[in-house]
Amino acid sequence: MIASTEKGKDGGINPIGTVQVSDVCINGMFLNYASYFRTNAEKLESVVDFILSQSMPDGGFNCRSNRSGALHSSLHTTLSVLEGITEYERNGYRYRLDELRQAGQSSLEFILIHQLFISDRTGEIINHDFLRFPFPCRWRYDILRALDYLQYAGREWDERMNPAIRVLLKKRNKDLTWNVQAKQPGQVHFDMETAGKPGRWNTLRALRVLKHFKIE
């Protein structure tokens, strides 16, 4: 599954080829998929090493930290890495697991400090796109993706989730469905959903969030 030519000198997956450093977001997503499909553990070790080397002082991750010197973590990248860490542990991998757990806990706290979409410095919405529910999400962050991760990871309720839950409930249709509110650009094999109409995947994800946190 992992061709040697896809690994960069820093140990991360680097399929782009035009840059010298690996992308943290890509490696978080790769760790997620590779762990799910039970890739050979030894082949994932350098990916784990790379991800851990990119942890930022504020607790999260940013794909620009090793490229343009970003000083603040990104919700996009942090969630991608969290998803990777969770799938890695769930499938029984052990290499540097305690360190990954610590990174996962600090990443979770980074998201919760921002109440999933609110600046901890200004109290304003960080990005209004975070309140839209596209599907598939690709690498982009939104609060439904974050909430669905939280239920998948079996996280307990935290009061800082309240603002995101209120938005989720406000977007529920009268027939108890949720719309696909946007489409992310990129190639697809086939269209699963139609933007602007109720979406099966968004409805499923929203319902399992509400079920996990026991919200009516």
Residue 4, pLDDT score: 54
CA 75 to chain centre: 8
Question: How far apart, in whole angstroms, are the C-alpha atoms of residue 131 and residue 143?
Answer: 6
Residue pLDDT, tens place only, 134-154: 999 999 999 999 999 999 999
Residue 53, pLDDT score: 97
Cα→Cα distances 15→20, 175, 176, 214, Å: 11, 43, 41, 41
Q: Provide mean pLDDT across the span 55-68.
A: 94
Residues 6 or more apart whose CB falls under 8 angstroms from that of 179 comprise 133, 171, 173, 196, 197, 198, 199, 202
Residue pLDDT, tens place only, 3-50: 555 899 999 999 877 778 999 999 999 999 999 999 999 999 999 999
The domain spans of the chain are 1-113, 119-216
Q: Give the bridge partners for 198, in sequence order.
A: 179
Look at the domain 1-113 and name its fold: Glycosyltransferase (1.50.10)
* Mean confidence (pLDDT) of the chain: 94
Residue 132, pLDDT score: 96
pTM for the model: 0.94
- H or E element at residue 107: helix 97-113
| DSSP assignment letter at 129 | G
Task: Round the CA-based radius of gyration of the chain to a whole number and report it.
Answer: 17
Residue pLDDT, tens place only, 86-121: 999 999 999 999 999 999 999 999 999 999 999 999
